[in-house]
Structures are given as structure tokens and as C-alpha cells.
């Protein structure tokens, strides 16, 4: 059985919940990524932040990215998968919630992220195509 840890990208970098959106944007640029997990001072996952969140939820509303924190954009409980859960469960969660990046946890610790690219590299083309199509609906 293939599990989440088998296909995830390991050692994800987090933006702190008290970091500004300017800090988050700079980290995204340096890592060449469009999304980052938001982690609290307690090292627990608080949510995910995308470059689109910065634009739509801050800039478009007239917010100041130099004073707005990443944590202020975290909404609800993040959707996650356990590191030892079946990869098919991860695919179902991605489809159900229409998310392109799924944080992987081990206990309460963030240990990885499964992205659409990870799915494409690890799974059969039919599974990849179906997942991507349903996420993008």
C-alpha cells in the first residue's frame, strides 16, 4: 500500500502566523513556490497561505501587507492527511475540498505536503488526470 509519506515533498518551510504578508511573499519568492503552510508559535499547522490569498484577501481589499499577518488569513481548520494514511485517501481529500496542496502530519507535526506535482510524479496517469480534473472544477 502506498501511503502519503511515500509521495509527499518533505521538510516544508512554514511562514509564521505572526509574520507579515511581505515576509511571506519574500519567502515564497525565494523558494519559488505559490503556497506556504502557516505555523504557529507552538509549531502546529494553522492553515495554508497562497500568493492568491495575499492578492485577493489583502491587496484587493486595500489591506497593508506590511502589517497584515499570515495568521490573519488562516481560515477554519486546515485539511490534512496523516503520514501513514493511504494515498487514495489523500486523493479523495484533494478532490473533495478542491485543494492543490495537502499538508501531511505525523501526530501534530507537519512533515510534508502533497501537491498536484507529487501526484503526477508518483501515480498512474489516469489517477493523476482524474484528480487534477476534479480539483479544478
Q: Which residue has the cell 489523500?
A: 90
* CA torsion, ordered 129, 131, 135, 137, to nearest 10 deg: 50
Q: Is pLDDT above 90 for 35?
A: yes
Determine the pLDDT at residue 117.
86
Domains of the chain, each with CATH number or no CATH: 4-135 (3.10.580.10)
What is d(CA 61, CA 115) in angstroms, rounded to the nearest whole number? 28
Please compute the mean of the pLDDT values over residues 3-12 and round it to a whole number. Answer: 93
Instruction: Pick 121 or 60 by higher pLDDT.
Output: 60
Determine the pLDDT at residue 42.
84
Determine the pLDDT at residue 136.
64
Cα atoms found within 13 Å of the Cα of residue 14, Cβ hemisphere only: 22
What is d(CA 81, CA 54) in angstroms, rounded to the nearest whole number? 25
94: Cα separation from own chain's centroid: 11
Model confidence, pTM: 0.85
Q: Is pLDDT above 70 for 20?
A: yes
Q: What is the DSSP letter of 72?
A: G
Determine the pLDDT at residue 122.
79
Amino acid at each position: 500500500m502506498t501511503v502519503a509519506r511515500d509521495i509527499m515533498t518533505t521538510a516544508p518551510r512554514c511562514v509564521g502566523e505572526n509574520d507579515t504578508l511581505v515576509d511571506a511573499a519574500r519567502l515564497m519568492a525565494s523558494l519559488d513556490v505559490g503556497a506556504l503552510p502557516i505555523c504557529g508559535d507552538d509549531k502546529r499547522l494553522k492553515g495554508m497561505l497562497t500568493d492568491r490569498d495575499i492578492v485577493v484577501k489583502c491587496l484587493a481589499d486595500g489591506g497593508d501587507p506590511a502589517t497584515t499577518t499570515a495568521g490573519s488569513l488562516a481560515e477554519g481548520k486546515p485539511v490534512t492527511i496523516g503520514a501513514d494514511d493511504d494515498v487514495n485517501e489523500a486523493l479523495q481529500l484533494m478532490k473533495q475540498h478542491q485543494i492543490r496542496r495537502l499538508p501531511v502530519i505525523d501526530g501534530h507535526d507537519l512533515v510534508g505536503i502533497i501537491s498536484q506535482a507529487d501526484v503526477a510524479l508518483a501515480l498512474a496517469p489516469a489517477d493523476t488526470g482524474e484528480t487534477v480534473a476534479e480539483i479544478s472544477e
